[in-house]
Chain A
Amino acid sequence: MIDILIGILEQGFIYGILALGVYITYSILDFPDLSVDGTFPMGAAVAAIMIVNGMNPWLALVVAFAAGSAAGLVTGLIHVKGKVRDLLSGIITMTALYSVNIHIADGKSNLAIFTGETIFNSGIAAMLPEVLQPYRALIISAVLIIICKLVMDWYLNTKSGFLLFAAGDNQQVVTALAEDHGKVKIMGLILANGLVALSGAVLCQHQRFFDVSMGPGSVVLGLAAVIMGMKLFSNFGFVKGTTAAIAGAILYKACYAGAIALGMEAIDMKLITAILFLVVLMFNTGNGKKKGGQPHA
């Protein structure tokens, strides 16, 4: 039982980073960004290939973040400069990334990390005291999500962060502030997809493999987590959007574990994902798309 709980938390923390990214695009920017389905496995591909080649696993996270950011930049440029609709811009990037990701993984659609150091078995993780060793994956993923959350909370309270909220809330205000709202959107997409790829890179190190099929369903998972988190916590005004998104991811993973426990198989994964998302959406009707964006002063 406790093992299942730990598993849920680990997964929740790792996917929580993805949810933070989706929170930026969906909740703050009001941008339905499907590039996530490409940037999530992209992060995994980057991490896998780097670790297989014996590179530092923490460096792999940094490179994954940068790769995801670059993909976010592409989506942003397609949308803002190319004047392509938001949904389609994401689809274009996502589709292109499918091939790009296989290229990154040395032409393979899946890549296992048999040997090699990951963030979960080397460095800080290895230095943990003996008693904590069984929980090292939980501890590392917890530390990561806390850092991501704190950095994001800080950022969202800066002038730049305010502008991000404004761009999703009312573009006219951004224009009136003599700022280019297109640029602000691009910035948001860069940050969001960086986080998504980071999440993919952490997951890859946790499960020790990259598979190109990790992609489809990521955006749905992220959306479900954010919408569920917002819905559950919107009654508590003091809960920040970032907290809600992470809580949503944990809850989502709990529901998912529940479905598996009820006898669903691994091949039903995407089916469960879709059904859970549907349930979340149906419970979410009534107040429609909840604008959860709110920086806290």
Chain B
Amino acid sequence: MLKLENICKTFNPGTVNESTLFTNFNLQVKKGEFISVIGSNGSGKTTILNIICGTIPLDSGNILVQGQNINKLKEYQRSKFIGRVFQDPAKGTCPSMTILQNMAMADNKGKPFNLTGGINKKRISFYQEQLSRLKLGLEDKLHVKVGALSGGQRQAMALLMSTMTPLDFLILDEHTAALDPKTSEIIMELTDEIVREKQLTALMVSHNLRHAVEYGNRMIMMHQGGIVLDYDAQKKKQTRVDDILGIFNEISIECGN
């Protein structure tokens, strides 16, 4: 489904700040895999997601989706089949537009944004139904501006919006990190529900080891631009948070810190 081949990435090449993060990084993701990605700060998790989404260019290597090379596609073109939720809840919604307007835009993804009415009244009940799944009461606040919502509410909307239309990949970068424990659980469960229901292929970066272990059917750990651990569904089932913590410590000791 998704194949990263010999990805190389060096930041600030030719300057004193030159730093090589990836040399010949490889990763293969099969359809229907829900991969939790863990790893210490600066290990390259966000960067690899950015490379997949086209937010930053790669130096060399190939990104293949269903055998097709997507290296040349711009970020917005890749959005056609990739949905993404960021750590920052502000990134996924338009604050000065209403909930209804935001939902209507998300609903139109992949279709032309032409001169027909921005809101299709017939779809409103569908939006309300979707919003009611969040159990945040947003379905009764259709005309409230998203900027007036809390971070958790906005993140829940961002998740709904990014998965409203058919997509191949869902990319989640610490999407529950800015939320309180309870909201974080709600969003995580909703994520799992949506991924199952739509049979999505997903990559989820998380520092919440419990989430990483509990959810998904594959787990990888990254360190200094490489994959140091790759558990399949079965291995993952037998793994507990403590085991992962142990591995984390081992790696840090090996690196001498």
Which residues on A are within 8 Å of B, measured CB to CB?
155, 157-163, 165-166, 169-170, 172-181, 291, 293-295, 297
Chain B positions within 8 Å of A161 at CB level: 118
Chain A positions within 8 Å of B92 at CB level: 172-173, 176
Chain A positions within 8 Å of B145 at CB level: 294
CB < 8 Å: which of B76, B95, B106 contacts A175? Answer: B76
Q: How far is the CA of A175 from the CA of B117 in the complex (A)?
A: 21
In angstroms, how far is the closest chain B Cβ from the Cβ of A80? 13
Contact check, B115 vs A159: say whether CB atoms are below 8 A apart: yes
In angstroms, how far is the closest chain B Cβ from the Cβ of A296? 9
Contact check, A175 vs B96: say whether CB atoms are below 8 A apart: no
Contact check, B79 vs A178: say whether CB atoms are below 8 A apart: yes
Q: Which 6 A-B pairs have the closest CB atoms?
A: A169-B94, A178-B79, A159-B113, A162-B118, A178-B80, A163-B113
Given contacts A165-B94, A170-B93, A297-B100, contact A178 B109 (CB under 8 A): yes
- Is there a chain A Cβ closer than 8 Å to B116's Cβ? yes
Chain B positions within 8 Å of A176 at CB level: 79, 83-84, 92, 109, 161-162
Q: How far is the CA of A158 from the CA of B93 in the complex (A)?
A: 18
Chain A positions within 8 Å of B149 at CB level: none
Given contacts A294-B96, A297-B100, contact A158 B117 (CB under 8 A): yes
Q: Which residue of B lies closest to A175 (CB)?
A: B76
Q: Which residue of B lies closest to A174 (CB)?
A: B76
CB < 8 Å: which of A169, A170, A178 contacts B76? Answer: A178
Contact check, B113 vs A162: say whether CB atoms are below 8 A apart: yes
Q: How far is the CA of A114 from the CA of B110 in the complex (A)?
A: 54
Given contacts A178-B79, A181-B76, contact A173 B105 (CB under 8 A): yes
Contact check, A169 vs B113: say whether CB atoms are below 8 A apart: no
Q: How far is the CA of A132 from the CA of B192 in the complex (A)?
A: 69
CB < 8 Å: which of A163, A165, A172, A180 contacts B96? Answer: A165
Q: Which of A158, A178, A181, A291 has the most CB of B within 10 A?
A: A178
Contact check, A162 vs B115: say whether CB atoms are below 8 A apart: no
CB < 8 Å: which of A160, A179, A297 contacts B101? Answer: A297
Chain B positions within 8 Å of A177 at CB level: 79, 105-106, 108-109, 113
- Is there a chain A Cβ closer than 8 Å to B31's Cβ? no
Q: Which residue of B lies closest to A170 (CB)?
A: B94
Contact check, B118 vs A180: say whether CB atoms are below 8 A apart: no
Give the size of the chain B interface in residues (CB under 8 angstroms): 39
Q: State the majority secondary structure of interface residues on A.
A: helix
Chain B, 70-89, CB within 8 A of any chain A CB: 74-77, 79-80, 83-84, 86
Contact check, A175 vs B75: say whether CB atoms are below 8 A apart: yes
CB < 8 Å: which of B74, B86, B93, B112 contacts A180? Answer: B74
Q: How far is the CA of A161 from the CA of B119 in the complex (A)?
A: 11
In angstroms, how far is the closest chain A Cβ from the Cβ of B21? 23
Q: How far is the CA of A157 from the CA of B115 in the complex (A)?
A: 9
Chain A positions within 8 Å of B222 at CB level: none
Q: How far is the CA of A160 from the CA of B77 in the complex (A)?
A: 18
Q: How far is the CA of A177 from the CA of B113 in the complex (A)?
A: 10
Q: Which residue of B lies closest to A159 (CB)?
A: B113
Chain B positions within 8 Å of A174 at CB level: 76
Contact check, A159 vs B84: say whether CB atoms are below 8 A apart: no
- Is there a chain A Cβ closer than 8 Å to B114's Cβ? yes
Q: How far is the CA of A176 from the CA of B78 in the complex (A)?
A: 9
CB < 8 Å: which of B79, B105, B110 contacts A163? Answer: B105
Q: How far is the CA of A160 from the CA of B112 in the complex (A)?
A: 8
Q: Which of A155, A172, A174 has the most CB of B within 10 A?
A: A172
B213-257 vs A, CB cutoff 8 Å, 1 = contact: the mask equals: 000000000000000000000000000000000000000000000
Q: How far is the CA of A78 from the CA of B55 in the complex (A)?
A: 22
Q: A159-B112, A295-B101 are known; give 15 further A-B pairs, CB within 8 A.
A: A159-B117, A162-B97, A166-B97, A169-B95, A169-B97, A176-B79, A176-B162, A177-B109, A178-B77, A178-B109, A291-B96, A293-B96, A294-B97, A297-B100, A297-B143
Q: How far is the CA of A91 from the CA of B15 in the complex (A)?
A: 33
- Is there a chain A Cβ closer than 8 Å to B98's Cβ? yes
Chain B positions within 8 Å of A160 at CB level: 113-115
Chain B positions within 8 Å of A293 at CB level: 96
In angstroms, how far is the closest chain B Cβ from the Cβ of A208? 36
Q: How far is the CA of A83 from the CA of B207 in the complex (A)?
A: 36
Contact check, B98 vs A179: say whether CB atoms are below 8 A apart: no
In angstroms, how far is the closest chain B Cβ from the Cβ of A185? 13
Contact check, B94 vs A166: say whether CB atoms are below 8 A apart: yes
Chain B positions within 8 Å of A166 at CB level: 94, 97, 105
Chain A positions within 8 Å of B102 at CB level: 173
